[in-house]
Structure 1
Amino acid sequence: MTVTSAERPPLDETVLSAISPDLVPGVSVEVVEQAASTNALVVERARAGAPEGLVVVTEHQTAGRGRLDRSWETPARSALTFSVLLRPTAPTRSWPWLPLLTGYAVDKALKAAGFDAGVKWPNDVLIDDRKVAGILVERIETEQGPCAVVGIGINVGLTADELPVPTATSLSIEAGDRGAPDRTALLVDVLASLREAYDTWQAGGDLAGMRLAESYADACVTVGRDVRVDLPDGSVLAGMATAIDPSGHLVVDGPSGRVAVGAGDVVHVRAAG
């Protein structure tokens, strides 16, 4: 069964316009009816000098982009599709943590909403091993300095026949009779969770880094599994994913010993078999 956009309520712009400072400090939300890519819109705003905390959310994204330039489109009002502008002051060497902490923040918000979610390293969010949310982080150079555009897409109200691939799911499907959460409330919760994780990461220090790595590892369904890691040169790293190191790398124990791989160094990570 396909649900029409008329049966899917729009985002509550009144609530979202008042999101800062009462609900999520330092955030301002702009809602657009349709966009090819919210990341592309925020990149434009960033280069024009927009401040940190800008959020652009669309009711209908028509040409979304993921890792490796994969693209997709979801029915209007069936998903939460938005991008956040961040201007980190943390050292550049720690920026690889951004996609991981974003995935952790989404996972935390979904758990709070009653879903048995988990993070697949580095940043997909799963429910029962099926993808419910994806994340794309882009580093952009601007006159004000480098910034990060964090794109997040969460399948909220998609029906089974609207899913892009068989390995995906939606909150509506997983919620069953209790129904999918309200998209406006969920957006506020995800932004609050992201703000908390981002501020902790920005504060820096070894202790904060260790806590973030431990929290992420606890939420990561990849750790503790046999995995197959496809590398850009065509080779494959196979073994047990045993940990997330302080740099956010996935640690794999394989036939040749222990290897740590970064998110930018892999094509795919899959459960073995």
Structure 2
Amino acid sequence: MTPRDRSDVPASPWSDLDRPPLSESGLRRSLLRQDGLWSSLDVVASTGSTNTDLVARAVAGSAQEGAVLVAEEQSAGRGRLDRRWSAPPRSGLFFSVLVKPGEHEVPVSRWGWLPLLTGVAVATALSSAAGVDTALKWPNDVLVTVDGEERKAGGILAEASGEGGIVIGVGLNVSLRAEELPVPQAGSLALAGAQVVDREPLLRAVLRSFERWYVEWCAAQGDPVLSRLQETYAAGCSTVGRRVRAVLPGDRELVGEAVAVDGDGRLVVRGADGERVPVGAGDIVHLRPA
């Protein structure tokens, strides 16, 4: 049988055979259970931001805890500090989930752990499902190693959505090629040598991992010690033990060694004077050893 000349095949969503679309029905069958966390799952071809869309649904009362919104393409995804996140269609995982920890008697003071919990869930899932080593940069970046260098392959953003809801968005570069990188410092699972770049099993693994961690965290009423979240995050966080520059609100800077993640999920930085300063918000830059 002679292969067809690809030039006479019309463009379609299947044009890039290395990047097949996600199966909404298949994902629903495998993830939605009566006694599970996930209550609904929708896959859209394209949107500006899954976080923005799911927050709107939550505020309107049309989404309940466990709602999942996935986009094949995201044109205006946002990260921390309102940074933009975009990638070619079907080259990554772009999704948001809605949780309501208050309904599980988790104190508001512990909700700040949710982005870190999500990072742990993503990292542990990718280790087993994709066979790729990842690291977490405090507070919400997923790092991979490409050509011996740390590169950012994913980011996490949590936003309040009214009525005690928190929408957590995840953007993860899966099959992004070198020529498609938005900046040289970016990376992807494929470039890091992942054994699996099929997005469907990866998404299932990440959502199942998140469910396990979230349920255990809620059962412990958000206690990061009882749920093992604090120790697991610290063990996988490449920021701890590094020399860092923390760009703090008000254009202040703190340079020192990141020595721990405290019980509130804050990064503890030991400055030049030896004082330990907990950083709860700010931009962290990993510095090369002197």
Above 0.5 in TM-score? yes
Q: Which amino acid aligns with 1:126?
A: L
Secondary structure, counterpart of 2:201 in structure 1: helix
CA distance in 1, matches of 2:170, 2:125: 13
> Which residue, 20, 26, 30 being the options, matches 1:9?
20
* Residue number among 256, 265, 269 corresponding to 2:284 in the alignment: 269
Structure 2 residue 235 is matched with structure 1 residue 218: yes
1:125–1:134 CA contact under 8 A, matched in 2: yes
| CA displacement at 1:242 relative to structure 2 | 0.8
What does residue 197 of structure 2 align with?
181
Q: Is the 8 A contact 1:24 1:192 kept in 2?
A: no
Tell me the alpha carbon deviations over residues 19-48 of structure 1, each in whole angstroms, 9 at most, x when there is no partner: 211896434210001111101110111012
Give aligned pairs, total. 262
User: Could you tell me which residue of structure 2 aligns to residue 43 of structure 1?
Assistant: 55
> What does residue range 126-205 of structure 1 map to in structure 2 within 5 Å?
126-128=143-145, 129-141=150-162, 145-175=163-193, 178=195, 180-204=196-220
1:34-183 maps to which residues of 2 (within 5 A)? 34-49=46-61, 50-89=63-102, 90-112=106-128, 113-128=130-145, 129-141=150-162, 145-175=163-193, 178=195, 180-183=196-199
Q: CA RMSD in A?
A: 1.8
> More deviation in 11-20 or 185-194?
11-20
User: What's the secondary structure of 1:44's corresponding residue?
Assistant: helix
Distance 2:284 2:68 in 1: 29
Counterpart residue type for residue 77 of structure 2 = G
2:183, 2:87 → 1: CA distance? 12
Partners of 1:24 and 1:191 within 8 A in 2: no
Question: What TM-score results when the alignment is normalised by the length of structure 1?
Answer: 0.91
Distance in structure 2 (CA, Å) of the matches to 1:11 and 1:210 = 32
Shift of 1:72: 2.7
Give the aligned residue type for 2:286: A
Asked if the contact 1:201/1:208 (under 8 Å) is kept, the reply is no
| Structure 2 Cα separation of the partners of residues 157 and 228 of structure 1 | 31
125 and 43 in structure 1: CA distance in 2 versus 1, 3 angstrom threshold:
same
CA distance in 1, matches of 2:27, 2:164: 27
What CA deviation, in whole Å up to 9, does each residue of 1:182-225 have, x standing for no partner? 10111110001111111122123557447211110001010111
- C-alpha distance in structure 1 between counterparts of 2:224 and 2:243, whole Å: 29
Stretches of structure 1 that go unaligned for 5 or more consecutive residues are none
SS at match of 2:192: helix
Amino acid paired to 1:184: E
Q: Using the alignment, how far apart are the partners of 1:255 and 1:162 within structure 2?
A: 40
The answer to whether the 8 A contact 2:42-2:69 is kept is: yes
SS at match of 1:95: helix
For the 8 Å contact 1:200–1:208, the answer to whether it is kept is no
**CA deviations over 1:107-148 (Å, ceiling 9, x no partner):** 11111121110100111010122111101100121xxx2210
1:150 aligned partner, one-letter code? I
How many Å apart are 1:270 and its aligned residue? Answer: 1.1
Partner of residue 7, structure 2: none
